[in-house]
């Protein structure tokens, strides 16, 4: 992994800043510069999401990719934000606390790391409300 | 546009092939296909090669040149060679590019191949390389793995439709059974529902035996204009449809998490192109990278209604002998899943079935077959329909 790929989206990743198309009213997170509905007629502006939402589906990861293997088992979920869009994120809670429909709020956490001496990535995780 | 036919096929064994390199595998499959078609190197107008991640798995890019070279087609014949990439759909897409080249008239004889050498790296490197098929910046960095993404599909499928872990396991049991009849399969052993349910949890609710393996292997087909196909073989297999569809790369951006809408659309386009319906398909190879993926595929392609795929799998409605045998090769689960090879291997399997040379897994009277190859969690789907009769 390279450093810039994750650094350059720090404002979005740390603060849940997405985008909003003022032409059709749709909200996008992760941020999109091209509205899939309006395409070139779309007018895109930045939008700060509150970050609260609902778990649509989830899993508990037992076999992780490189840089995440020291965290297993961990909960991964698709969360539908109140404003509409869905995102993928980890939910920190006890097993059994997480169900489809669980309401969650965002927290700032370490996401992963390149290696013991490598870069640490930070971003948004979620906890039950 | 011209009609196109498959006039030869070749496939290596799939599995942990530590004594052979990526180039060895491609060359073995390609030469088998060329010999099967009875063509000479001078006749080949181009090569298309599906390969997802030579760079990550064996630190080799520029795979087109490498394989043309080691196939003996570069130094004097200078045959054009193009690598095609769409994650796990790379093979299906390479086949489609080859078909388009012949159909257009720009080329007459094309070799479409696919290969991957995945066991040269350790498991977490392989897991990370495969995770590159998802959105690295917004899924991968959050800790998503491929089993994790399909596990989230499975969880919601269970929640919405009452699909059970036993029904998921039934897919794996059936595919392992079919694999016992396939000489090239990575796994040729019977398993039980208990084998699946007692295996290690990878990403809940998916166990290790819900997941296709890490594999090495390659496959190839030779394509020719349908009008001249009988010059090369008595049993050409005709391409009735080649279609492809895109969908958002991230699972979280899909309208319905339990539907791979790229599969739905590629399927509908294929039925339209061939003038056929799901009822006309005698046999299908679907992309069962995970057991839930086969259940979604047989629903999304119209063989069973949404939500009924788990029950149908458990009730044997996808077994050899049923009205729609699914993955007679053992699928990705038992035959193995060298990602770039899979889409081509599916076409090899269907060609053998339509020729009537599929051995113990032969489906009696198979006349029309389909292949379904998916990239990532459904960002790309490629569908082909083949026919014994023109």
Domain ranges of chain B: 4-122+214-232, 138-211+239-387
Could you give the CA distance from residue A123 to residue A15 in angstroms, rounded to a whole number?
8
Q: Which letter does DSSP use for residue B253 in this model?
A: G
Mean pLDDT of B166-183: 98
pLDDT of residue B19: 97
Q: How does residue B336 score in pLDDT terms, banded at 50, 70 and 90?
A: very high
Closest Cα partner for B362 from B172, B178, B173, B170? Answer: B178
Which residues share a beta bridge with B204?
A: none
Helices (H), B106-232: 123-131, 146-161, 165-179, 193-197, 229-232
Q: How does residue B118 score in pLDDT terms, banded at 50, 70 and 90?
A: very high
Mean pLDDT of B221-233: 98
Residues of B in contact with A86 (CB under 8 A): 252-253
Residue in B138, B145, B148 nearest the CB of A30: B138
Mean pLDDT of B241-269: 98
A2-36 CB burial, b ≥16 within 10 A, e <16: eeeebeebeebbeebbbbbbeeeebbbbbbbeebe
Q: How does residue A66 score in pLDDT terms, banded at 50, 70 and 90?
A: confident
Residue A11 pLDDT greater than 90, yes or no: no
Task: State whether residue B164 is helix, strand or coil.
Answer: coil
Distance of CA A33 to the CA centre of its chain: 17
Closest Cα partner for B296 from B335, B258, B242, B239? Answer: B258
ipTM over 0.85: yes
Residue in A6, A71, A87 nearest the CB of B143: A71
Residue B6 pLDDT greater than 70, yes or no: yes
Residues of A in contact with B132 (CB under 8 A): none
Pick the residue with more confidence: A120 or B374?
B374
Residue in the structure block whose two tokens are 């294929």 = B270
Residue B322 neighbours by CB distance under 10 Å: 14
Contact assignment for B145 to A78 by CB distance below 8 Å: no
Listed range (A78-92, A108-122, B102-116, B357-371) with the worst mean pLDDT: A108-122
Could you give the CA distance from residue B318 to residue B309 in angstroms, rounded to a whole number?
9
User: B61: which residues sit within 8 A by CB, 6+ positions away?
Assistant: B54, B55
CA angle B82/B145/A70 to nearest 5° reads 130
pLDDT of residue A119: 81
Instruction: Give pTM, 2 decimals.
Output: 0.97
User: Given CB atoms, is A39 within the 8 Å cutoff of chain B?
Assistant: no
pLDDT of residue A95: 78
User: Given CB atoms, is A76 within the 8 Å cutoff of chain B?
Assistant: yes
User: A27: which residues sit within 8 A by CB, 6+ positions away?
Assistant: A18, A19, A20, A21, A47, A49, A81, A83, A84, A85
Q: Are residues B331 and B286 in contact, defined by beta-carbon separation less than 8 angstroms?
A: yes
User: Given CB atoms, is A61 within the 8 Å cutoff of chain B?
Assistant: yes
Which residues share a beta bridge with B50?
A: B84, B114
User: Given CB atoms, is B144 within the 8 Å cutoff of chain A?
Assistant: yes
Interface of B with A in 347-386 (CB under 8 A): none
pLDDT of residue A8: 79
Contact assignment for B203 to A63 by CB distance below 8 Å: yes
Residue B350 pLDDT greater than 90, yes or no: yes
Element (H, E) at A14: helix A10-15
Contact assignment for A76 to B148 by CB distance below 8 Å: yes
Could you give the CA distance from residue A101 to residue B185 in angstroms, rounded to a whole number?
41
Domain ranges of chain A: 4-128
Q: How does residue B68 score in pLDDT terms, banded at 50, 70 and 90?
A: very high
Alpha-carbon torsion angle B96, B98, B101, B105, nearest 10: -110
Q: B95 vs chain A: nearest CA distance in angstroms?
A: 29
B4-122+214-232 and B138-211+239-387 share one fold: yes
Q: Which CATH superfamily is domain B138-211+239-387 in?
A: Thiolase/Chalcone synthase (3.40.47.10)
Residue A1 pLDDT greater than 60, yes or no: no
> What is the residue-averaged pLDDT of chain A?
92
Contact assignment for B143 to A59 by CB distance below 8 Å: no
Class of domain B4-122+214-232: alpha beta
Q: How does residue A96 score in pLDDT terms, banded at 50, 70 and 90?
A: confident
Instruction: Identify the sign of the CA torsion A104, A106, A108, A109.
Output: positive
CA angle B29/B324/B337 to nearest 5° reads 30
pLDDT of residue A6: 73
Contact assignment for B137 to A57 by CB distance below 8 Å: no
- CB burial of residue A44 (10 Å; 0-12, 13-18, 19+): middle
User: Given CB atoms, is B121 within the 8 Å cutoff of chain A?
Assistant: no
pLDDT of residue A3: 64
Task: Express as a percent the part of chain B with pLDDT over 70.
Answer: 100
Helices (H), chain B: 22-37, 54-57, 63-70, 90-104, 123-131, 146-161, 165-179, 193-197, 229-232, 261-274, 291-300, 309-314, 331-335, 339-355
Residues of A in contact with B165 (CB under 8 A): none
Closest Cα partner for B4 from B225, B221, B222, B220? Answer: B225
User: Given CB atoms, is A27 within the 8 Å cutoff of chain B?
Assistant: no
Residues of A in contact with B127 (CB under 8 A): 63-66
Residue B92 pLDDT greater than 80, yes or no: yes
Residue in A30, A58, A76 nearest the CB of B143: A76
Residue B170 pLDDT greater than 80, yes or no: yes
Q: Which residues of B are known to be catalytic?
A: 88, 337
Residues of A in contact with B376 (CB under 8 A): none
Pull the structure tokens for residue B32.
């088998």
Residue in A57, A61, A74 nearest the CB of B156: A57
Contact assignment for A57 to B152 by CB distance below 8 Å: yes
Cα–Cα distances in Å, from A101 out to A83, B50, B151, B206, B336?
16, 40, 17, 21, 36
Rg (C-alpha) for chain A, rounded Å, is: 16
Q: Which letter does DSSP use for residue B14 in this model?
A: P
User: Given CB atoms, is A110 within the 8 Å cutoff of chain B?
Assistant: no
Which of A16, A65, A85 to mutate against chain B (most B CBs within 10 Å)?
A65
Q: B90 vs chain A: nearest CA distance in angstroms?
A: 22
Residue in A56, A63, A87 nearest the CB of B202: A63
Residue A2 pLDDT greater than 60, yes or no: no
Residue in the structure block whose two tokens are 């599916």 = B346
Closest Cα partner for A103 from A86, A127, A83, A120? Answer: A127
Pull the structure tokens for residue B226.
């349908």
User: Given CB atoms, is A81 within the 8 Å cutoff of chain B?
Assistant: no
Residues of B in contact with A56 (CB under 8 A): 156, 252, 257
User: Given CB atoms, is A8 within the 8 Å cutoff of chain B?
Assistant: no
Q: How does residue B253 score in pLDDT terms, banded at 50, 70 and 90?
A: very high
Residue B186 pLDDT greater than 70, yes or no: yes
> What is the residue-averaged pLDDT of chain B?
97
Residue A40 neighbours by CB distance under 10 Å: 6
Contact assignment for B138 to A56 by CB distance below 8 Å: no
Topology adopted by domain A4-128: OB fold (Dihydrolipoamide Acetyltransferase, E2P) (2.40.50)
User: Given CB atoms, is A17 within the 8 Å cutoff of chain B?
Assistant: no
**Residue B172 dihedral angles phi and psi, to the nearest 5°:** -65, -40
């Amino acid at each position: 992994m390279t450093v810039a790929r994750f650094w350059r989206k720090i404002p979005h990743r740390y603060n849940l800043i997405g985008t909003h198309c003022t032409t059709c009213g749709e909200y996008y997170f992760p941020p999109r510069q091209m509205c899939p509905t309006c395409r070139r007629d779309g007018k895109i502006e930045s939008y700060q999401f509150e970050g609260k939402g609902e778990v649509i589906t989830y899993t508990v990861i037992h076999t992780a990719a490189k840089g995440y293997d020291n965290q297993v088992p961990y909960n991964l979920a698709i969360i539908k934000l109140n404003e509409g869009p869905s995102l993928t994120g980890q939910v920190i809670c006890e097993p059994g606390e997480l169900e489809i429909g669980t309401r969650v709020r965002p927290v700032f956490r370490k996401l992963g790391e390149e290696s013991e001496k490598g870069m640490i990535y930070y971003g948004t995780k979620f906890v039950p409300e | 546009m011209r009609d196109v036919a498959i006039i030869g096929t070749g496939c290596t064994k799939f599995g942990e092939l530590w004594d052979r390199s990526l180039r060895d595998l491609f060359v073995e499959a390609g030469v088998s296909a060329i010999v099967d078609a009875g063509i000479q190197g001078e006749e080949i107008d181009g090569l298309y090669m599906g390969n997802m991640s030579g760079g990550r798995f064996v630190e080799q890019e520029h795979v087109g040149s490498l394989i043309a070279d080691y196939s003996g087609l570069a130094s004097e014949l200078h045959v054009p060679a193009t690598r095609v990439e769409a994650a796990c759909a790379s093979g299906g897409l390479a086949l489609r590019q080859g078909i388009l080249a012949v159909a257009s008239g720009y080329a007459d004889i094309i070799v479409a191949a696919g290969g991957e050498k995945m066991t040269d790296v350790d498991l977490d490197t392989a897991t990370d390389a495969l995770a590159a098929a998802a959105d690295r910046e917004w899924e991968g960095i959050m800790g998503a793995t491929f089993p994790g993404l399909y596990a989230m599909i499975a969880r919601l499928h269970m929640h919405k439709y009452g699909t059970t872990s036993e029904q998921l396991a039934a897919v794996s049991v059936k595919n392992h059974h079919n694999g016992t009849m396939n000489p090239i399969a990575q796994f040729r052993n019977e398993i039980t529902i208990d084998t699946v349910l007692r295996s290690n949890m990878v990403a809940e609710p998916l166990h290790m035996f819900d997941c296709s393996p890490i594999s090495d292997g390659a496959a190839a087909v030779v394509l020719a204009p349908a009008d001249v196909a009988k010059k090369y073989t008595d049993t050409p297999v005709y391409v009735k449809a080649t279609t492809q569809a895109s969908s958002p790369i991230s699972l979280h951006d899909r309208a319905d998490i339990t539907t791979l809408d790229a599969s739905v659309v590629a399927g509908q386009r294929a039925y339209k192109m061939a003038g056929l319906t799901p009822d006309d398909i005698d046999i299908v190879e679907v992309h069962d990278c995970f057991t839930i993926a086969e259940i979604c595929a047989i629903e999304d392609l119209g063989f069973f209604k949404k939500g009924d795929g788990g029950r149908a799998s458990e009730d044997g409605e996808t077994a050899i002998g049923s009205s729609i045998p699914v993955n007679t090769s053992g699928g990705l689960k038992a035959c193995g899943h060298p990602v770039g090879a899979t889409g081509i291997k599916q076409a090899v399997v269907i060609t053998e079935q339509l020729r009537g040379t599929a051995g113990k897994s032969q489906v009696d009277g198979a006349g029309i077959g389909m292949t379904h190859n998916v990239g990532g969690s459904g960002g790309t789907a490629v569908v082909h329909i083949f026919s014994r009769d023109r």
